């Protein structure tokens, strides 16, 4: 696994809108505050032209334009990390234009979540480059950084960080008044073990290579030329695999079929444990819980499955390093994630 160089003071962090851009005035304010905060810490921030554009719903520009702006950051030797402006839709449109050879020749951290799964999953599974499924750039613009943002920054700097489950999370999107708000932590965090595992033990731990992202994206990426999951699993089967998955929007039926498909194509081979993030929008027309819909496929695998973990669309979120060795521990509704040797 190739780990890009960690960021150091005076390095440049590039921000680009590989998916959607930010058109809202409060988002602009938040982004410039993030730039100011990071510059005070000694880093240079560069925004590509598409960051503050919204060409269509879910897109900052056409696919080639977005790829050209990413490629320019890849070619800039001063840039050591690239953070996505936002999620959105149709990042897949730019994949054919991305210069992956540039990234392989000079690896850089790429970070983002949601639709950014298209890029982070491809980088790690197909090109063997570690990537980060974590906050988009706007989170660095909150007036006072949440612990999760501090952890994210420290991980980008190469510091060893033990990520502990949080006490509270924000159940919805939250109201924006100043643009610099932190999370509205209004709901209790509880990591839940699947019922099969709970019957055996109240404590689980498992280790392996971390891989995953937004299930809504992974399901259409699977099987395309941008999906290297099969080769990733073969290469790291002796390490074992930890899958982390979350969903923006799904129904009980879709979740059941998605997980069944991924099991049938072999994605859960060599898996030591599965982590599920809190779903943002989950619709149920069959009186089937989120856990039941997941365990429809995973129940036969006899591996621990942990629900409502701290990553995904409902912040605060862990910084998930695709390709990294990690150990997960869960006890009494609390969890922790520790990165190990590469």
For residue 137, list its beta bridge partners: none
Place 102 in a pLDDT band, splitting at 50, 70 and 90. very high
CA 6 → CA 156, 160, 221, 336, distances in Å? Answer: 6, 12, 28, 23
Domain range for residue 272?
Answer: 168-339
Average pLDDT over residues 101-125: 97
Place 129 in a pLDDT band, splitting at 50, 70 and 90. very high
Average pLDDT over residues 2-14: 97
Residues 189 and 334 in one domain: yes
| 3 domain residue, yes or no | no
| 316 domain residue, yes or no | yes
Average pLDDT over residues 190-211: 96
Domain boundary among 162, 190, 216: 162
d(C-alpha 312, C-alpha 338), whole Å: 18
Q: What is the pLDDT of residue 176?
A: 87
Burial class (CB in 10 A: 0-12, 13-18, 19+), 16: buried
| 72 domain residue, yes or no | yes
Domain boundary among 162, 177, 202: 162
Question: Which two three-digit tokens encode residue 161?
Answer: 């960080």
Model confidence at 242: pLDDT above 70: yes
Does residue 181 contact residue 174 with C-beta atoms inside 8 Å?
yes
Which ranges of 41-186 would DSSP assign to H, the alpha helix?
63-75, 100-105, 117-127, 147-156
Residue 98's nearest CA partner among 53, 52, 129 is: 129
| 74 domain residue, yes or no | yes
d(C-alpha 60, C-alpha 50), whole Å: 6
Domain boundary among 162, 197, 224: 162
User: What's the mean per-residue pLDDT of the chain?
Assistant: 96
Place 341 in a pLDDT band, splitting at 50, 70 and 90. low
d(C-alpha 299, C-alpha 199), whole Å: 13
Q: What is the pLDDT of residue 88?
A: 94
Residues 239 and 327 in one domain: yes
Residues 180 and 326 in one domain: yes
Residues 274 and 295 in one domain: yes
CATH code, domain carrying 202: 3.50.30.60
Residues 249 and 298 in one domain: yes
CATH code, domain carrying 23: 3.40.50.10740
Model confidence at 342: pLDDT above 70: no
């Amino acid at each position: 696994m190739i780990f890009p160089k960690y960021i150091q003071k005076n390095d440049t962090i590039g921000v680009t809108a590989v998916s959607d851009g930010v058109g809202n005035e409060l988002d602009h304010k938040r982004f410039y505050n993030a730039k100011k905060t990071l510059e005070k810490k000694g880093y240079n921030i560069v925004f590509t032209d598409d960051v503050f554009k919204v060409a269509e719903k879910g897109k900052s520009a056409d696919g080639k334009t977005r790829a050209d702006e990413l490629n320019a950051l890849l070619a800039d030797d001063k840039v050591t990390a690239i953070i996505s402006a936002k999620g959105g839709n149709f990042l897949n449109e730019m994949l054919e234009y991305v210069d992956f050879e540039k990234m392989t020749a000079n690896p850089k951290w790429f970070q983002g979540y949601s639709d950014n799964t298209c890029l982070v999953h491809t980088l790690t599974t197909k090109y063997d480059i570690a990537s980060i499924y974590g906050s988009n750039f706007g989170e660095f613009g909150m007036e006072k950084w949440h612990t999760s943002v501090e952890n994210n920054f420290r991980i980008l700097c190469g510091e060893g960080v033990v990520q502990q489950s949080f006490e509270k999370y924000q159940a919805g999107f939250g109201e924006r008044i100043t643009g610099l708000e932190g999370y509205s932590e209004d709901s209790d965090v509880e990591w839940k073990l699947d019922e099969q595992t709970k019957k055996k033990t109240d404590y689980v731990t498992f280790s392996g290579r971390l891989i995953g992202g937004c299930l809504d994206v992974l399901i259409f990426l699977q099987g395309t030329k941008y999906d290297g999951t099969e080769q990733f699993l073969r290469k790291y089967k002796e390490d074992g695999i930890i899958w982390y998955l979350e969903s923006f929007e799904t129904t009980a039926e879709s979740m059941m079929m998605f997980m069944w498909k991924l099991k049938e194509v072999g994605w859960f081979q060599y898996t030591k444990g599965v982590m599920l993030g809190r779903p943002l929008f989950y619709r149920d027309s069959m009186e089937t819980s989120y856990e039941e819909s997941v365990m429809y496929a995973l129940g036969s695998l006899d591996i621990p499955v942990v629900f409502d973990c701290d990553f995904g669309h409902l912040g605060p979120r862990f910084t998930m390093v695709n390709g990294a060795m990690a150990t997960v521990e869960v006890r009494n509704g609390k969890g922790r994630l520790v990165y190990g040797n590469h």
